[in-house]
Chains A and B, each alone.
Chain A
């Protein structure tokens, strides 16, 4: 059952088409992420759902109720802002009680709900603190609590973790997921961090320049990126561009030929001969070996960079005119300039169309 339905949303700012024909559904109790680079329209879309922007075209419905033009205060949507926007002149209690007081709950009800929500975000006893007396992580949890205390149908989050340091971000991702599953609340989550989107989402909608490029589950997007942009955005990827040369194994595999004569075998995905494609290689795709086990997809390259990461090493390998980034166990201790042989398993190669 879908709770939020966005249909053909369009929003322009002067000449800039910030959001174009964006449509998606957020299912009940699931997390939908809007993912994309800066300026892709994800925040504008979220603000339209919240009611802070009125779309130029399109419709937004919440539980079959059309909310496209209703003011934000009447939508019953909880929102968490990137910089938390906790009111500095109120205590935690004041911040949380505000929404409840507007809904005219009794004092005892308010106290009970606040206690409950503080318990959920693991900040019991913080009622009398002021925001400035709390750490970034704590403020973030209060911001979440404020969005949840009046038990909305759906919650919107605008890059809520981007102001936290890396380690705290990772921890908070898991905490958010736990919280969301525990409450069973539907969430629309905006982020530019693909790792974050992969961890927390049930469904990812990738936006670029105002348009939806691909949407699907994290696994679908990671394994079957529709094009070069998605492949490169969702994970660190090296690309080798070429043209579809021929098919093999009853059209289950293709040969891609690069401009400098390299031939790479990969899985077919409705390609046509002559189509311009990009061979996408993830960090773990490259396997160092000498070519005894495999006959195809063996390549020679030269190490141009090496970065020690502790239990693994990141290498940059120059193959022909292409540079491949790869990550290998630390026992492969290659020197700069060393010539190496490696194998690219066709099943692990992702071939995407250029566009």
Chain B
């Protein structure tokens, strides 16, 4: 059936509006990051240049207020994120498997899952303020380990919920078939369940990674004054220097976009099929 002209026009309008809301902020940040001089009432910057980029990346020394070399903070954020992913998955994979496969009464299962969720269920500032006070007593404030612990608490929710869901969605017959041909429980898990659940586990890792890179509130309370992650530099910059803040914001986006591309490849339908009917 031919779509009416009117209908087509409406669709184009909605699409354009959607694209606008999606890309306008990015575009705006992009412009700000290369605007060396931009005063109202000009619609476009008067001068553009990559000065702030060079300063942020440590290529030139910074003279402006609030513009510092953010590469160390970037690397620290990356490093923390990777460690957090590793530890989270070490916990979440067995936990998810147990919650998905073992016959646990529904009530207990619900309680365990909610327990992981609890820290995120409350307003973040009071939660992390309290955490900071406790960490202070044991000397964990201002340490990388303290920050890692905070990121673990935040990331485990996603990790455990996603791994539980992933393992639940794998039909038990796959493992049973493996055992029927002679595989032990462990072998069946390693050779059958794990490879099949890879897309879900990767999605889980990516979520944790991005959450860690992005994490601000907890890191702010626990990390100061010695641990500075990229979101924290963004926070400082946004008060004084919009251009610089835009540069950091774009830098923060890079890992996210990279991972989006990565997930795309893994979540193709190659791992589906093999079930009859």
Contact = CB atoms under 8 A, between A and B. Distances in A.
Interface string B126-170: 000000000000000000000000000000000000000000000
A102 B182 contact: yes
Contact of A88 (B176, B191, B272, B277): B272
Given A83-B277, A102-B187, A163-B276, A88 B271 contact: yes
Contact of A102 (B183, B196, B274, B276): B183
Contact of B273 (A85, A99, A132): A132
A78 interface: yes
A79 interface: yes
Contacts of A79: 176-177, 180
A146 B274 CA distance: 13
A102 B171 contact: no
Interface in A72-96: 72-73, 76-79, 81-89
A87 B177 contact: yes
A98 B178 CA distance: 8
Given A85-B176, A98-B178, A150-B181, A136 B277 contact: yes
A190 B74 CA distance: 61
B181 A88 contact: no
Interface in A122-146: 130-132, 136, 139-140, 143, 146
A102 B192 CA distance: 13
Interface in B183-202: 183-185, 187, 191-192, 195-196
Nearest to A98: B181
A294 B277 CA distance: 52
Contacts of B274: 84-89, 130-132, 139
A88 B171 CA distance: 12
A147 interface: yes
B276 A140 contact: yes
A122 to B, nearest CB: 18
A83 B181 contact: no
Contacts of B179: 51-52, 71-73
Give the residue among B171, B177, B196, B276 with the most A Cβ atoms within 10 A: B276
Nearest to A150: B181
B207 interface: no
A17 B158 CA distance: 39
Nearest to B173: A85
B273 A83 contact: no
A76 B181 CA distance: 7
Give the residue among B180, B270, B271 with the most A Cβ atoms within 10 A: B180
A147 B180 contact: yes
Nearest to B274: A88
Nearest to A131: B274
A319 to B, nearest CB: 42
B195 to A, nearest CB: 5
A261 B195 CA distance: 70
B174 interface: yes
A51 B176 CA distance: 10
B63 interface: no
Contacts of B173: 81, 83, 85
B106 interface: no
Interface string A139-161: 11001001100100000000000
B177 A132 contact: no
Contacts of B174: 85, 87
A103 interface: yes
Contact of B177 (A81, A102, A130): A81
B275 A99 contact: no
A41 to B, nearest CB: 18
A136 B173 CA distance: 17
Contacts of A139: 274, 276
Contacts of B277: 82-83, 136, 163
A83 B272 contact: no
Contacts of B276: 82-84, 86, 136, 139-140, 143, 163
Give the residue among B174, B176, B275 with the most A Cβ atoms within 10 A: B275
Nearest to B184: A73
Contacts of B270: 89
Nearest to A160: B276
A50 interface: yes
A79 B183 CA distance: 13
B192 to A, nearest CB: 6
30 contacts: A50-B176, A50-B180, A52-B179, A71-B185, A72-B176, A72-B180, A73-B181, A78-B180, A79-B176, A81-B177, A83-B173, A83-B276, A83-B277, A84-B276, A85-B176, A86-B274, A87-B177, A87-B196, A88-B271, A89-B271, A98-B178, A98-B181, A102-B182, A102-B183, A132-B274, A143-B276, A146-B177, A146-B181, A150-B181, A150-B182
10 closest A-B pairs by beta carbon, nearest first, are A132-B273, A99-B181, A88-B274, A163-B277, A85-B173, A131-B274, A84-B276, A79-B180, A85-B177, A72-B179
Given A71-B185, A73-B183, A98-B183, 14 more contacts: A81-B177, A83-B173, A83-B275, A87-B192, A87-B196, A88-B271, A88-B272, A98-B178, A99-B181, A99-B182, A136-B276, A139-B276, A146-B177, A147-B180
